[in-house]
C-alpha cells in the first residue's frame, strides 16, 4: 500500500488547497456528491414495495424477494401489488409494513387517482404525476441516477480512448501523428446526431447501445489536448533522461508524460460530463434516446412541452437539469482554477531574486 502511505506531492497539495479555497466549487461538489449518493439508493427511497414487512408473525422482504399475492390472502398466484387497497388492509390487520419515503417507483402507475393525469402536486404526489399517472418525484430521483451514471460511464470511456490515442500521437509524433490526426479529423466529421437517429429507426437503443455509439465519438475532443501535452512533454529534460536511462516508451509515457497530460485532461472532464448529460437529455427529449418507460429527464421535459397546462412537469425537468448542470460547471471551474499555475494563491511566494 505504498501508494497511499506516502505523503501527497506538494503540487497536489497546493491544488487541493486552491480547490478548497474556492467556496462555490467546494459546496457544489459536496451538494452534488450528496445528491448522487442519495440517488444511488433510489430503491430505498422511492419504491412501490415495502422495505420490511411483518405479517402473521413472519418477516418479509418484498424489496428483495417476490412474494405471490396468495401469501397475503389474495386470490391470484401473481406478484403482489402492495399498493392494492385490499393487500394494504390485509397487511394493516395482520402485522405492519415499513414503506419507503415515496411509495411509488419510477414506473408505478397510480391506480387510486381521483384526478385525471397529469395530476397537480398534492400530499400524495409531491410534484404531481406525469400524463401516464407516474409519480414525478420518483421519476426525477431515478432519472438523476441514470443520467449521472450514463455520463460517468461515458466520461470514463472517453478518457481512456482519448488519452490513449492522444498519447500515442503526441509521444511518437511524425508519421504516427500525421496519420492519426487525419483519421480523427475524418471521424469527427461524421454527424453523431443523425447517426443516432438513423440507428433508432432499426434498433431500440438501450442504455448500453446509446453509451457505445456516443463513446465512438465523444473521445475525439480529448485527443487534441492530450496530444498537445504529450508533444510538449516528450522534449522535457526529465523525459529525455528517462529515455537515456533505457526505459521503454510505455513506462515513460505512463510515469513521466501522463501525469503532465492529466492536468489538461482533468480540467476538461467536467465539460465532457456536462456535454454527455445534455446529449442524453436532448436525445430523450426528441424520442431517440432511452427506451420508453425508462426514468429520463429528457422525457420529462418533453412531457412538460406536450402538457403546458401542467407546468409542474416542465418546471421540475428544467430545475433538475439546471441545478445539476450548474453544480457541475461550478465544480469544473474550481478544478480548472486549481490546476491553473497562473492562478495566484495567497500562499504563493514570488521569486525573491530572478537572477
Partner 1 sequence: MPEPILSVRDLRIAFDAKPVVHSLSFEVAKGETLAIVGESGSGKSVSALSVVDLLPGNASVTGERQLNGRDLTRLKPSEWSALRGNQVGFVFQEPMTSLNPLHRVGRQIGEALRLHQGLRGQAARQRVLALLEQVRLPRASELIDAWPHELSGGQRQRVMIAMAIANRPALLIADEPTTALDVTVQQEILALLKSLRDERAMGMILISHDLNLVRRHADRVIVMHRGEVVESGPVATVFGHPQASYTRTLLAAEPEGRPAPIAEAAPLLTATQLSVAFERPRRGLLGKRPPPFVAVQPLDLELRQGETLAIVGESGSGKTTLASAILRLLPSQGEITLGGVALHTLSGAALRRQRRQLQIVFQDPYGSLSPRMSVFDIVSEGLRYHQPELDEPAVAERVAQTLEEVGLPPDCQARYPHEFSGGQRQRIAVARALILAPTLLVLDEPTSALDRTVQKQLIELLRDVQARRGLSYLFISHDLAVVRAMSHRVLVLKEGEVIEQGDCATLLSAPRHPYTQALIRASSLEDDLTR
| Residues at the interface with partner 1 (CB under 8 A) | 6-7, 9-11, 236-238, 240-248, 251, 255-256, 259, 349-350, 352-355
Q: How far is the CB of 260 from partner 1 (least distance, A)?
A: 8
Q: How far is the CB of 23 from partner 1 (least distance, A)?
A: 23
Q: Which is nearer to partner 1, 57 or 246 (CB)?
A: 246
Please tell me the distance from the alpha carbon of residue 278 to that of residue 195, in angstroms, as a whole number: 17
Q: Which is nearer to partner 1, 113 or 241 (CB)?
A: 241
Which residue is associated with the grid cell 401473481? 78
* CA angle 177–178–182, rounded 5-degree value: 110
Tell me which DSSP letter residue 256 carries. Answer: I
Q: How far is the CB of 262 from partner 1 (least distance, A)?
A: 10
Q: How many other C-beta atoms are found inside a 10 Å radius of the C-beta of residue 29?
A: 19
| Cβ atoms 274, 329 nearer than 8 A | yes
| Rg, C-alpha atoms of the chain | 26
Q: How far is the CB of 6 from partner 1 (least distance, A)?
A: 7
| Cβ atoms 98, 52 nearer than 8 A | yes
| Cβ atoms 131, 307 nearer than 8 A | yes
Q: How far is the CB of 313 from partner 1 (least distance, A)?
A: 50
Q: Which is nearer to partner 1, 76 or 178 (CB)?
A: 178
| Cβ atoms 72, 55 nearer than 8 A | yes
Q: Which is nearer to partner 1, 79 or 240 (CB)?
A: 240
Q: How far is the CB of 12 from partner 1 (least distance, A)?
A: 8
Q: Which is nearer to partner 1, 76 or 236 (CB)?
A: 236
Q: Which is nearer to partner 1, 191 or 248 (CB)?
A: 248
- The SS3 of residue 73 is coil
Amino acid at each position: 500500500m505504498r501508494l497511499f502511505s506516502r505523503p501527497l506531492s506538494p503540487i497536489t497539495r497546493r491544488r487541493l488547497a486552491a480547490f478548497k479555497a474556492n467556496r462555490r466549487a467546494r459546496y457544489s461538489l459536496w451538494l452534488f456528491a450528496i445528491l448522487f449518493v442519495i440517488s444511488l439508493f433510489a430503491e430505498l427511497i422511492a419504491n412501490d414495495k415495502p422495505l420490511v414487512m411483518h405479517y402473521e408473525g413472519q418477516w418479509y422482504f418484498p424489496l428483495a424477494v417476490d412474494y405471490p399475492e396468495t401469501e397475503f390472502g389474495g386470490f391470484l398466484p401473481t406478484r403482489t401489488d402492495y399498493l392494492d387497497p385490499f393487500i394494504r388492509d390485509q397487511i394493516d390487520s395482520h402485522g405492519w409494513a415499513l414503506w419507503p419515503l415515496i411509495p411509488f417507483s419510477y414506473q408505478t402507475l397510480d391506480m387510486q387517482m381521483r384526478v385525471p393525469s397529469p395530476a397537480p402536486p398534492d400530499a400524495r404526489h409531491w410534484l404531481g404525476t406525469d400524463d401516464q399517472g407516474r409519480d414525478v418525484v420518483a421519476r426525477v430521483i431515478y432519472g438523476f441516477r441514470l443520467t449521472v451514471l450514463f455520463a460517468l460511464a461515458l466520461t470514463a470511456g472517453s478518457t481512456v480512448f482519448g488519452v490513449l490515442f492522444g498519447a500515442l500521437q503526441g509521444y511518437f509524433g511524425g508519421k504516427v501523428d500525421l496519420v492519426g490526426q487525419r483519421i480523427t479529423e475524418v471521424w469527427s466529421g461524421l454527424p453523431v446526431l443523425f447517426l443516432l437517429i438513423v440507428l433508432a429507426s432499426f434498433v431500440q437503443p438501450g442504455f448500453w447501445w446509446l453509451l457505445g455509439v456516443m463513446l465512438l465519438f465523444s473521445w475525439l475532443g480529448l485527443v487534441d489536448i492530450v496530444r498537445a501535452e504529450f508533444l510538449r512533454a516528450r522534449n522535457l529534460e526529465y523525459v529525455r533522461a528517462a529515455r537515456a536511462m533505457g526505459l521503454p516508451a510505455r513506462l515513460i509515457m505512463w510515469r513521466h508524460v501522463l501525469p503532465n497530460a492529466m492536468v489538461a485532461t482533468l480540467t476538461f472532464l467536467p465539460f465532457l460530463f456536462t456535454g454527455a448529460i445534455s446529449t442524453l437529455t436532448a436525445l430523450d427529449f426528441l424520442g431517440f434516446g432511452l427506451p420508453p418507460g425508462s426514468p429520463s429527464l429528457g422525457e420529462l421535459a418533453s412531457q412538460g412541452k406536450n402538457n403546458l397546462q401542467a407546468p409542474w412537469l416542465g418546471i421540475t425537468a428544467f430545475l433538475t437539469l439546471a441545478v445539476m448542470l450548474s453544480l457541475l460547471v461550478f465544480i469544473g471551474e474550481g478544478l480548472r482554477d486549481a490546476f491553473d499555475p497562473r492562478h495566484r494563491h495567497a500562499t504563493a511566494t514570488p521569486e525573491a531574486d530572478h537572477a
